[in-house]
Structure 1
Amino acid sequence: MININTDHSFSIKNTLFSFALASEAADVFEECNTIITGIGKVNAAYELTKIIQEKKPSLIVNLGSAGSNFFQKGDIVCCTKFIQRDMDVRGLGFQLYETPLSGLPPILEYGLKMDGLQEGICGTGDSFEMEHSEVLYNVVDMEAYALAMIAMKEQIPFLCLKYISDGADDNAAEDWTIQVHKAAMAYGNLLGINKLSAERL
């Protein structure tokens, strides 16, 4: 079981774990239901939509690395709010980050809060952000908004945990390559998933 908070627990067998890259999952999650979406919102949206029609999970868990100049490297942050940080149609009179005519607000609020973790606002975009100065979001990734939106539309509970691998600054690329391999082990420890427990899933 995955115990998220006092109100929400889910069977690991019926949980879908979503990663952008196989390196973020390593071999920690090899006995679980996993999906490797590839990088970016389009890849994430396509792969998740395809697999939920087949698997019909009771919970979607997005795990991966992310940048932040607010949280510390090595922190695991629970994101419950999401911004599409590269959506800018202000020229047509819409708010910054608002998707025109979607009926969705600029900040999408959908996600479970996990006890014991700091809470963050994730800015998702199809760029590796290295000069983060935005104050509306404090975590930067490239997939979570799309995953959260699909989970919301499909009415599937969603948990988004981000391992802070870099500061979303000039050193982001170098820091990411060093830190990303640590994410899987950190998630495995947090969620109680490892090879020894795989047979009891």
Structure 2
Amino acid sequence: MALPGESQGLFEGANVPVIYTGIGKVNAAFVAMEAIQKTQCKVMINLGTAGSSKFKTHELVEVSTFVQRDMDISPLGFKVGETPFDPIPGAIELIPYFPELPKGICGTGDSFETGVPKVACDLVDMEGYALAKVCRKMGVQLISLKYITDGADHNAHNDWQENLIYGSKKLFEYYGRMITK
């Protein structure tokens, strides 16, 4: 998770170890690399919140693909979302885990999105693509569930804060399903 607010103490109260990345792609990449090296994990579970103009608030979505919504080198002829000269694609696909959950493309960027992203996506966050890229480079499977807290609009900051408790409960429920499978 990015922040302790996304857990609301539920995971800690159940003695579930949570690694918080902090906000943004750089923090997420650093913490993901550190966690993988320290634990030698084969699967990373990313639970968090996201905004969406496609999915309804309070819906739980499994991320099928991560894209970068703020990588824009288009003046030099590159596609928006594509990192020039990088072998990792601009769209990183994940292996589905929960067939019953809706799937979505998550656009990651170092900004709190309140408008229409430059890259086609269904939901937005600030850490996911970095986690996906580190996992891809390190050979670790990533499973990502996002609770939709807001409409990624002008009121997103208020809605996000108000809906954290609902999101933490839903994420905790699905975490329980993961570890009992």
Query: Aligned partner of 2:69: which letter?
Result: R
Higher strand share: 1
Shift of 1:25: 1.5
2:115 aligns to what?
Answer: 131
CA contact (8 A) 2:69 2:118 kept: no
Whether 1:25 aligns to 2:25 is no
Write out per-residue CA displacement over residues 47-74 of structure 1, whole angstroms, 9 at most, x where no aligned residue. Answer: 1111211111231011111000000011
Which residue of structure 2 aligns with residue 178 of structure 1?
Answer: 162
Aligned with residue 69 of structure 1, among 38, 48, 53: 53
Which structure 2 residue ranges, 5 or more long, are not aligned?
A: none
The runs of 4+ residues in structure 1 deviating greater than 2 Å are 110-113, 132-135, 190-193
Paired residue total: 177
Question: Equivalents in 2 of 1:168, 1:75: separation in Å?
Answer: 14
Instruction: Name the aligned partner's letter for residue 105 of structure 1.
Output: P
1:161 and 2:145 aligned: yes
Does structure 1 retain, via aligned residues, the 8 Å contact 2:59–2:147?
yes
Distance 2:88 2:99 in 1: 27
Q: 1:51 to 1:105 in 2, by over 3 A?
A: closer
* 1:131-182 CA distance string (max 9 Å, x none): 1255710100000000011111111111010000000011111101101122
- 8 Å contact from structure 1 (residues 66, 166) kept in 2: yes
**How does 1:1-201 map onto structure 2 within 5 Å?**
19-30=1-12, 31-132=15-116, 136-192=120-176
The two structures have a TM-score, normalised by structure 1, of 0.82
| Local SS of the residue matching 2:18 | strand
The TM-score normalised by the length of structure 2 is: 0.91
* Percent sequence identity over aligned pairs: 41
Gaps of 5+ in 1: 1-18
